[in-house]
Amino acid sequence: MSDSEKILQAIYGAVEEINPQLPPDQQLTKQATTVLVGDGAVLDSLGLINLIVTTEYQLQKTLGLSVNLTDPTILENPEATIATLGQLADTIAAQTDGEFDD
């Protein structure tokens, strides 16, 4: 499994954790193409923040990765960094390049 795939799995773990506390129309599907920001996005701002913070926990817990996803370079231009679950995984992979334990 590639680093991006491992990260995507951790993000899916975060999705599983936050879905039960989202209204039904905001719940996310575990697909790389799921839209987080812009047209077709279903999360409100609270849901997006919760996903980001929960993803940080999941990355730490499952992969031992310490990342800061609330960094302004990510949140100030979300369409380019976290537009979809897949793009979120790519952004994290770029931020953690070479940090994987294995």
Partner 1 sequence: MIRKSRGLLLADFTADPLANYINNDPEPPIVRLSMAPSDQVTQILVDPNHACWKDRFDFAVIWTRPESAVPDFNRLLSGEPAALAELLEQVDQFVDRIKLAAERVPTVLVPIWTAPQAGRGWGLLDLKHPHGIAGNLVRLNQQLIDKLSEIDHVYPLDSTRWLASAGTDSSSPKLWYMARALFGNRVFMEAARDIKAAVRSMTEEAIKLVVVDLDDTLWGGILGDIGWEKIQLGGHDPTGEAFVDFQRALLTLKNRGVILAIVSKNDETAALEAIQNHPEMVMREDDFAGWRINWSDKADNIVSLLNELNLGAQSVLFIDDSKHERSRVRQALPDVLVPEWPDDRMLYASTLRNLTCFDTPSVSIEDTNRNAMYAAQKERARLQSEATSLGEWLVSLETVVTVRRLADVDRDRTVQLLNKTNQMNLTTRRLSAAEFATWAAQPDNHVFTLRVADNLGDSGLVGILTLTQQDERGHIADFVLSCRVLGRRIEETMLHLAARIGKQLNLSRVDLHYTPTERNKPCLEFLSRSGLNSGDDERSYVINIARGYALPEGIQLDESGL
Please give the torsion angle defined by the CA atoms of residues 56, 9, 14 and 65, in that order, rounded to the nearest 10 degrees.
-20
Nearer to partner 1, 3 or 48 (CB): 48
Identify whether the C-beta of residue 37 lies closer than 8 Å to the C-beta of residue 79.
Answer: yes
Told to check if 91 binds partner 1 by CB under 8 A, we report no
Distance, in Å, from the CA atom of 14 to the CA atom of 53, rounded to the nearest integer, reads 9
By CB under 8 A, what part of segment 48-67 binds partner 1?
A: 49-50, 52-54, 56-57
| Footprint of partner 1 (CB under 8 A) | 17-18, 20-24, 45-46, 49-50, 52-54, 56-57, 70
